[in-house]
A = this chain, B = another copy of it.
Amino acid sequence: MQTSFHVHSPTCGCSPDLRATGETDARPRVVIVGAGFGGLSAAKALRKADVRVTLLDQRNHHLFQPLLYQVATAGLSPGQIATPIRTVLRDQKNAEVLLGTVTGVDKDHRCVRMGGHEINYDYLVLATGARHSYFGRDDWESFAPGLKSLEDATELRKRILLAFERAELEEDASARQRYLTFVVIGAGPTGVEMAGSIAELAHRALASDFRAIDPHSARVVLVEAGTRALASFPEQLSAYTAKQLEKLGVELMANTKVVGIDEAGVMLQGADGAVAPMPSACVIWAAGVAASPVAKWLGVDGDRAGRVAVDAQLNVAGHPEIFVLGDCALAQDAKGKPLPGLAPVAKQQGEYVGRLLTLFRKKPEARRPAFAYKDYGALATVGRKIAIADFGTLKLRGFIGWLAWSLIHIYFLIGFRNRFSVALDWTWSYLTFQRGARLITGPVDEVKRPVHADGERAGRKAA
């Protein structure tokens, strides 16, 4: 095991205290790339280990992704689901946090390249997560944004709220209907949650806010190429979800593929092969994901989604010092089935790596136990007070499912202040149907409209 020696130089940037003592840090260095569920859990699990932890992320905050759709649908504010990484690790003396974008890994020299720096490691943990995949149609991305970061969420929020504002001003009935048609692509948990939430936003929260349009007339269409929504859940919960979506006013179109997306809307292909356009000003992508470019950094092949295959100790083949975990890794459960890209998986993997390295530092000869994922179940919410929860033998649905869903999510939020704030907001919107985060922020492009020279202008001119 290589040890790191640090020699102070005039510009080495170490804190004055450390420099004054002339000490060098002889502990092995664990470099963790990514402060999502996987990376942050690993960092925290190393708090008692005799190592130096360096956590790198291109953003300054840890994001609670399961609730991102609530920011996108104006239910929560960004600050309620994000915590500065430095705040989380402030009291962990062996940890440092650096902000920057990693561009590559040098396995031979054991360093990570980030913004002109080369950051050496003794152990490397890659937990950089996933981005959206458009199945080769990257030109679709600008028309149908996905939901992976806070910027995605506020951009979607802007598009959704702006659609109603534009509709209010729109005189042409079919143009108005295009503004009031929302298409969500992909009926997995994210798609179902988005669609249900937009439907509630339109049919409840905004109901009395407009004069020219009736938000109830907004269409929310959920397109799914497979046969049912929430295909990863048991069939009965899947069927229950479909019924709830219908009650909320979401139109679920199963067995329907998206074959085109542009400024005007989407092109849909039904089971019979017929293709038809659906005009929409707001298309949301909740379908494919692909791993961040970890495979490229490591010079290995990724699977179809770009994920790096790892063994039972979450190592890359031939590199016991490199761990890959979370959505960018292809790990298996005890039966050899691939583990899904879920938050609890990344979290448990991060904790495993932290414990492993802590153990290894104390007893280098110890046998490395394999990672074993404990599947506690899965949850998905459908609107403001309905959720489904699959805990194996115990299945919940309806309001009690929603209680379980909210308690579990609040529990896993990081930070007491965030928990309190989110609990407050959910109680508020439960009681009032209102949403506290309905801001359009960021640049608002002017709608290009011809100026009518004639006197007839809908509702805006004196006769």
A contact set with B: CB distance below 8 Å: 2, 4-7, 9-16, 58-61, 77-80, 82, 84, 86-87, 90-91, 96-101, 111, 115-120, 150-151, 154, 161-162, 165, 168-173, 176, 206, 208-214, 417, 420-421, 424, 428, 434, 436-444, 446-452, 456-463
Contact partner of A460 (CB less than 8 A), chosen from B118, B161, B463, is: B118
Chain B residue at minimal CB-CB distance from A84: B438
Contact A6 B214 (CB under 8 A): no
> Complex Cα distance A150/B420, Å?
25
Contact B96 A462 (CB under 8 A): no
Residue numbers in B under 8 Å from A213 (CB-CB): 13, 15
Residue numbers in B under 8 Å from A101 (CB-CB): 446
Provided the pairs A91-B208, A165-B99 are in contact, do residues A458 and B11 lie with their beta carbons within 8 angstroms? yes
Contact A90 B209 (CB under 8 A): yes
Contact B459 A13 (CB under 8 A): yes
Contact partner of A87 (CB less than 8 A), chosen from B12, B154, B434, is: B434
Provided the pairs A436-B417, A441-B78 are in contact, do residues A458 and B9 lie with their beta carbons within 8 angstroms? yes
> Complex Cα distance A6/B461, Å?
7
Provided the pairs A170-B13, A212-B13, A458-B12 are in contact, do residues A151 and B442 lie with their beta carbons within 8 angstroms? yes
Provided the pairs A7-B463, A101-B446 are in contact, do residues A78 and B439 lie with their beta carbons within 8 angstroms? yes
| 27 sample A-B contacts, Cβ–Cβ < 8 Å, listed by A number | A7-B463, A11-B172, A11-B173, A12-B171, A12-B458, A13-B168, A13-B458, A15-B212, A16-B214, A60-B439, A79-B439, A84-B438, A86-B206, A86-B209, A87-B438, A98-B168, A99-B168, A111-B461, A116-B447, A117-B460, A118-B451, A118-B460, A120-B462, A151-B442, A417-B428, A417-B434, A421-B424
Distance in angstroms from A59 CB to nearest chain B CB is 7
Residue numbers in B under 8 Å from A99 (CB-CB): 162, 165, 168-169, 440, 444
Contact A437 B79 (CB under 8 A): yes
Q: What is the count of identical protomers in the complex?
A: 2
Contact B169 A98 (CB under 8 A): yes
Chain B residue at minimal CB-CB distance from A440: B60
Contact A450 B79 (CB under 8 A): no
Contact A214 B15 (CB under 8 A): yes
In the A-B complex, the 6 residue pairs with the closest CB atoms:
A116-B449, A12-B458, A86-B209, A77-B79, A99-B165, A11-B171
Contact B463 A6 (CB under 8 A): yes
Residue numbers in B under 8 Å from A462 (CB-CB): 2, 4-6, 120
Residue numbers in B under 8 Å from A10 (CB-CB): 173
Residue numbers in B under 8 Å from A206 (CB-CB): 86
Residue numbers in B under 8 Å from A436 (CB-CB): 79, 417, 421
Contact A60 B438 (CB under 8 A): yes
Distance in angstroms from A185 CB to nearest chain B CB is 25
Residue numbers in B under 8 Å from A214 (CB-CB): 15-16
Distance in angstroms from A333 CB to nearest chain B CB is 35
> Complex Cα distance A100/B165, Å?
9
Residue numbers in B under 8 Å from A96 (CB-CB): 211-212
> Complex Cα distance A460/B6, Å?
8
Contact A440 B59 (CB under 8 A): yes
Chain B residue at minimal CB-CB distance from A450: B116
Distance in angstroms from A225 CB to nearest chain B CB is 32
> Complex Cα distance A214/B20, Å?
14
Provided the pairs A87-B209, A87-B438, A208-B91 are in contact, do residues A161 and B459 lie with their beta carbons within 8 angstroms? no
Residue numbers in B under 8 Å from A82 (CB-CB): 439
Residue numbers in B under 8 Å from A170 (CB-CB): 13
Residue numbers in B under 8 Å from A168 (CB-CB): 13, 98-99
| 9 more CB-based (< 8 A) A-B contacts, given A86-B209, A116-B452, A151-B443 | A11-B173, A13-B168, A15-B213, A78-B439, A84-B439, A87-B434, A98-B169, A99-B162, A120-B461
